[in-house]
Amino acid sequence: MNHRLITVAAFSAVAAAVAGTRACAQDTATTRPGVRLGLSYPRGTTPKVVVMPVDSTPGDSVRTIIQRDFDFSDRVTPLVLDDSTLMGMTPTNGGDYNYSLFANLGVAAIIQARPTAGGYRVALYDVSARRRLDSRDFPLRAIPGNRDATLVDSISTATSARERLLRDSVQRVLRRRADLMRRPPLKKDTRQRRFVVRDSLRRDSSATAYLRRGLARWEEDRRDSVDASITRMARRLASQDSADRESAAETQRMGIHRISDEVERWITGRSGIAATRIAYVHAGLVRVVDSDGANDRPLTRRGMSMSPSWHPRADRIVYSRFLEGGAGTQIEEIDLSTGRSRSISGRGLNITPVYSHDGRSVVYSSGSESGTDLMMVSVDDPTVTQRLTFGRGSDNGSPTFSPDGRQIAFFSSRTRFPQIYTMDTDGTNLQLLTPFTPGIRSYRAAPDWSPDGRAVAYEQQNGDFQVWLINIRDKEPRRLTSEGENEGPSWAPDGRHIALSSTRGGSKQIWILDSESGRFRQLTRNAGARLSSWSPMLNLAQ
């Protein structure tokens, strides 16, 4: 992250150099129900903003996360001012910000987030207009406290109560048996009375000893098992408690990302992409990671998987998995809320699945070594399939839907060398998208249609793999990468950023490219990461 840290000395120098400068152009007007926002900043520039201190949380504080989200958006430039610099700029006793000092630094907006009982109240201040533009409450899920000690105490109390009841039951059984031992034999006693009394005392003593030995033996046998049971229960509940806290922390962090995205919409008129995730493949497992690189974790636990793709609601992922025993591959769908997966295709060669625009169907490549074609299957009823291409021995794969859901872009080797084609969703109106000269070897594959519908990104091999972009209207290609090898582009919901697999840092990792400025940032830290897929915007529950 390339934040600028302005010290008191630097602040003084900048203020002296740019004194009197002001934002000069009305660049955006954002509308939402009941509120119209208009922030002034120089046209054609990224507005500079200052996020005021929120709390004293170490590490990834709320302020740090919001500043990083702005930095990664490439539409807003966060200026990180130290506390000593902010002392003379913040309001005191209910007054206003020192807008002049912020203006001298070229700051267009000030963001102030204050904790509330259920989340944060965020306000946006226009430095040029010297007023607050908007304020809104954002609810956040609370993170429960660590209850390990409480859980162990409650388990011990409950177990002790159950053990007392069980001991009483065992004692009653033993007492009944001891009573039977005390009874005289059912036969005529012809001995003298002293021997009868002595025999009665002997039976009573034996019965009492039996009762004591039985209880002692039962308690000894139970002690180890009870202790082990308490330990197992405590560990299981503590693990669940830890998982609940971790889930709450992830949900809260995503809520902070959502604050960043909404404030960016206030400033620029377009929402950010912080509240998204990227799926990718590493070591045969499908993994997901937040857009800022946090919370990287596996989704699948077994087998070799590839080509993940998100459902439009971002609650499921479809992917291809290799089957054991060389039985080929099949298309599977995993529910992110439950972790359960199911098959939605037969066995054989089934790869590169993608959901349709409405999420009701999946299109994937199916066939054999002699050729593959695109098939469409109903998600609700996998027995309902439709063949979309007739490649006659060629390979057809990597489908991607246009944003309006009317067309599919895909690669096909029907002209011998793979090229990018488009067709209607019923398989008609086939057209070549990428320029192709017969006899000249070229390789173009892995297309992904941009969310605005204007372009398709794809990978091209001319000695090495690089990511290119082709405009749908004029079919003019543009190269986006050059350093290292770069493959498998996937668009972010903003239609500006692209996730791709790149060796520009040495090992193959997932990187994020800003297609407008050319800026790169590394997302993953798992050597061999590839086949990325960017999610739609996540809702509050995700």
239 or 282, which is more confident: 282
Q: What's the pLDDT score for residue 7? A: 33
User: C-alpha angle 78/84/88, rounded to 5°?
Assistant: 90
Q: Is 327 exposed, middle or buried (0-12, 13-18, 19+ CB in 10 A)?
A: exposed
CA distance 12 to 226: 70
**344-396 per-position pLDDT tens digit:** 998 899 999 999 999 999 999 999 888 999 999 999 998 889 999 998 889 99
Q: Contact, 424 vs 407, CB < 8 A?
A: yes
Give the 3-state secondary structure of 7-62: CHHHHHHHHHHCCCCCCCCEEEEEEECCEEEEEECCCCCCCEEEECCCCCCCCCCH
**274-321 per-position pLDDT tens digit:** 999 999 999 999 999 999 999 999 999 888 999 999 999 999 999 999
**124-175 per-position pLDDT tens digit:** 999 998 999 889 999 988 877 666 656 556 666 666 666 666 667 766 766 6
**336-349 per-position pLDDT tens digit:** 989 999 999 988 99
User: C-alpha angle 234/236/242, rounded to 5°?
Assistant: 95
Least confident of 57-71, 81-95, 184-198, 510-524: 184-198
For residue 451, what pLDDT band results from cuts at 50, 70 and 90?
very high
Q: Judging by DSSP bridges, how do beta strands 361-368 and 371-378 pair with one another?
A: antiparallel
pLDDT at 188 over 90: no
Residue 82: CB partners within 8 Å, gap ≥ 6?
5, 6, 7, 8
**250-263 per-position pLDDT tens digit:** 888 999 999 999 99
Q: Contact, 50 vs 102, CB < 8 A?
A: yes
For residue 21, what pLDDT band results from cuts at 50, 70 and 90?
very low
CA distance 481 to 468: 7
Q: What's the pLDDT score for residue 438? A: 75
The beta strand positions in 159-315, using DSSP E, are 277-282, 285-290, 297-298, 304-310
- Tell me how crowded residue 497 is: count the other CB atoms within 10 A of its CB: 23
Q: What's the pLDDT score for residue 176? A: 66
3 state DSSP class of 439: coil
Q: State the virtual CA torsion across 123, 266, 513, 420 in degrees, nearest 10.
A: 150
Q: What's the pLDDT score for residue 416? A: 83
DSSP state of 326: G
CA distance 331 to 182: 74
DSSP state of 169: H
pLDDT at 402 over 60: yes
For residue 25, what pLDDT band results from cuts at 50, 70 and 90?
very low
User: C-alpha angle 323/409/435, rounded to 5°?
Assistant: 120
Average pLDDT over residues 56-83: 87
Average pLDDT over residues 489-500: 97
Q: Show the domains of the chain with their CATH numbers.
A: 4-144 (3.40.50), 148-249 (no CATH), 276-534 (2.120.10.30)
Q: Judging by DSSP bridges, how do beta strands 341-343 and 329-335 pair with one another?
A: antiparallel
Q: What's the pLDDT score for residue 238? A: 64
Average pLDDT of the chain to the nearest whole number = 82
pLDDT at 243 over 50: yes
Q: What's the pLDDT score for residue 19? A: 35
Q: What's the pLDDT score for residue 370? A: 84
pLDDT at 117 over 80: yes
For residue 93, what pLDDT band results from cuts at 50, 70 and 90?
low
CA distance 399 to 397: 6
